[in-house]
Amino acid sequence: MSSIASNLARVQDRIAIAAEAAGRSPSDITLVGVTKYVGASETAELVRAGCTELGESRPQQLWEKAADEQLRSAAVRWHLIGHLQRNKVNRTLPLTALVHGVDSPRLLKAINTAAAGNPTPQQLLLEVNCSGDSEKHGFTPDALREFAPQLGDYQAVEICGLMTMASREGGEKSAREAFALLRDLQGELQPLVPDSVKLRELSMGMSGDFEAAIAEGATMVRVGSALWEGIRGG
């Protein structure tokens, strides 16, 4: 087994163990393999090892990888996990299965406009700033409570759930609190949003904290570094 394949197997095992410990099915958790640290050939090897949900945090890097001949024909679903600038929406949407970081009404509106007329709605997640860190992107929980009734106004998108990032400095306890806050917010918002909106996904957890995120209900974990340990360029 290549080291990329064995890293992937190890991460999948850790996901399964964390899911079972939480009384959940491992199949309810999607692993998004974050490829921002490596080039197209390592990424292609990860796909061959069985990880076809891939995440990039910068739009340009997503464009480049999605167009690379080693990846173009593979059955990859791309996730944009970082910030999306409004001037990059048009070029990014056709390549992206799920936009994780929709962090303002303005961006939501821009995506909705760009997706109008598409055969299927653009899937996206609303990013929530759960740590109260003012440097971070995302809706505050209060802003989202206020905005919730309007989420049905955007007909060309499908708002699939919520996403958050724990603060880097905060350590395990604060990460777990941020994940619990996102889960509680999901439960609180669901009755406030129109019936057409189902907030079913919780995208939370990275290499250092995905087990805690799974314990708190993550349905998607975004894992980079743990997949690239010992890999050149990783």
Ligand X SMILES: *Cc1c(COP(=O)(O)O)cnc(C)c1O
Contact residues toward ligand X (CB under 6 A) are: 34, 36, 57, 81-82, 165, 206-208, 222-226
Q: Which is nearer to ligand X, 114 or 223 (CB)?
A: 223
Q: Which is nearer to ligand X, 45 or 127 (CB)?
A: 127
CB of 206 to ligand X, least distance (A): 4
Q: Which is nearer to ligand X, 51 or 148 (CB)?
A: 51
Q: Which is nearer to ligand X, 65 or 222 (CB)?
A: 222
* Spatial distance between the Cα atoms of 17 and 86, rounded to a whole number of angstroms: 39
CB of 220 to ligand X, least distance (A): 10
Q: N- to C-terminal Cα distance for the chain?
A: 18
CB of 153 to ligand X, least distance (A): 27
Q: Which is nearer to ligand X, 149 or 171 (CB)?
A: 171
CB of 104 to ligand X, least distance (A): 16
CB of 205 to ligand X, least distance (A): 8
